[in-house]
Amino acid sequence: MKHYIGIDLGGTNIAAGLVTETGEMHYQCSTPTGANRATDEILADMAAVASLCRRSAGLAPEDICSIGIGVPGAVNDALGKVYFTANLDWEDLPLSRLMRERTGIETHLANDADCAALGEVIAGGAAGYDSAVMVTIGTGIGGGFIADRKIFRGWSGVGTEPGHMPLIYGGELCGCGCRGCFETYASATALIRQTRNAMRAHPDSLLWEVCPELGLVNAKTPFDAALRGDEVSIRLLDQYEEYLAAGIGGIINLSRPHCVIIGGGVSNQGETLLAPLREKLKKYCYASKYITPPPVIKAQLGNDAGIIGAALQAL
């Protein structure tokens, strides 16, 4: 049995696990990230959770094939470095070398959304598919391609960002500096913004009964109101799903994966979200009259996917 350690480095928590080559997680632990701390302190905690994972099975460093880290930012595994992260103040950090020095174990890096995609293909909702696109609907849109059951790191090894293809050129300002990226219309953040706008425009909408304060709106709010028959929410969600389908359709037209996995908090709506999405994808997938769009699957592993995929990225 081969063992790998996966670390999902988040803005809030550092979550780690001991994972076998088949994607089973035998031990799991986590500690707060403390994102404002010095890099050295965060690295010490990452090494500590890795050590806990290793010792949980009584293993020596040489018994671990590799450590894999899922980073919330842009990385280059071949160079072993983090270009930058969204939540930590890291720039051009040689993270692979620093972790190897602290643990004695070879370390690999990938974007956290890429790791989640790999986890779902190896042990989750997309098990059995050779290639997949995963779209994680959260604060932003994370995305990852899996090809031949490996993370696709971009042809030049730089890492892909499907959330940052254009959807409405010149539209809403994106965190990346551009306007109108896919994630500015289809993330949970975008859905919350769209819901608040609808509430302002429709003071009589049931949305106000579901959530009496604009500040408390979350991505579940419009789904709950739609369930109670609120026409404003039904129209709003229909438009939201169009944005989602147009973006995913564009990704499919460029990459033609065997399946599409939808993850992140919004995916908890299950078929309420996915059934209309599948229907709308027929419009946005090129030549869908001849070429059946790929199946759209709900992610199954939740946060575990990121740890499992991080661990097995070097498999």
Dist CA 131 CA 151 (whole Å): 9
Q: Does 176 bind a copy of itself (CB under 8 A)?
A: yes
- Please tell me the count of residues contacting a copy of itself according to CB under 8 A: 51
Pick the binder of a copy of itself from 247, 263, 264, 306 (CB under 8 A): 247
Shortest Å distance, C-beta 80 to a copy of itself: 15
- The answer to whether 128 contacts a copy of itself (rule: CB under 8 A) is no
Stretch that binds a copy of itself, among 58-66, 101-109, 220-228, 243-251 (CB under 8 A): 243-251
Burial class for 268, CB neighbours closer than 10 Å (0-12, 13-18, 19+): middle
Judged by CB under 8 A, which of 243, 261, 277, 315 binds a copy of itself? 243
Binding a copy of itself (rule: CB under 8 A), the pick from 48, 178, 227, 314 is: 178
Of the candidate residues 58, 170, 203, 215, the single one contacting a copy of itself (CB under 8 A) = 170
Q: Out of 147, 214, 227, 314, which residue is the one contacting a copy of itself (CB under 8 A)?
A: 147
Tell me the pairing of strands 296-298 and 91-93.
unpaired
Nearest one of 191, 133, 143, 132 to 165, comparing CA atoms: 143
Q: For residues 173 and 106, what is the distance between their CA atoms, to the nearest angstrom?
A: 39
Query: Please, which residue, 189 or 268, has the CB nearer to a copy of itself?
Result: 189
**Shorter beta-carbon distance to a copy of itself: residue 29 or 165:** 165
Tell me the window of 1-9, 63-71, 95-103, 245-253 that interacts with a copy of itself (CB under 8 A): 245-253
Answer for the pair 307, 119: CB distance below 8 angstroms, yes or no: yes
* 304 contacts: CB under 8 Å, gap ≥ 6: 17, 25, 28, 119
Q: Which stretch binds a copy of itself (CB under 8 A): 84-92, 134-142, 189-197, 199-207?
A: 84-92
C-alpha 298/C-alpha 300 separation (Å) is: 6
78 lines the binding site for a copy of itself (CB under 8 A): no
Is residue 110 within the footprint of a copy of itself (CB under 8 A)? Answer: no
Burial class (CB in 10 A: 0-12, 13-18, 19+), 287: exposed
Angle at 309 between CA 305 and CA 311, to 5 degrees: 120
Element (H, E) at 251: helix 231-255
Site for a copy of itself in 22-41 (CB under 8 A): none
What is d(CA 196, CA 198) in angstroms, rounded to the nearest whole number?
5
Q: Considering beta carbons, is residue 50 or 135 the nearer one to a copy of itself?
A: 135
Compare residues 5 and 186 and give the one whose CB is closer to a copy of itself: 186
Among 21, 45, 106, 130, binds a copy of itself (CB under 8 A): 130
Q: 90 or 223: whose CB is closer to a copy of itself?
A: 90
Q: Does 295 bind a copy of itself (CB under 8 A)?
A: no
Tracing tokens 């350690």 back to the chain, one arrives at 5
Question: Does residue 90 interact with a copy of itself by CB under 8 A?
Answer: no
d(CA 267, CA 261): 9
59 or 147, CB closer to a copy of itself? 147
Sheet holding 107-111, edge to edge: 25-32, 13-20, 3-9, 64-71, 107-111
Which residues lie near a copy of itself (CB under 8 A)? 74, 83-84, 91-92, 130-131, 145, 147, 153-162, 164-170, 176-178, 180, 185, 242-243, 246-247, 249-251, 253-258, 283-284, 286-287, 290-291, 294
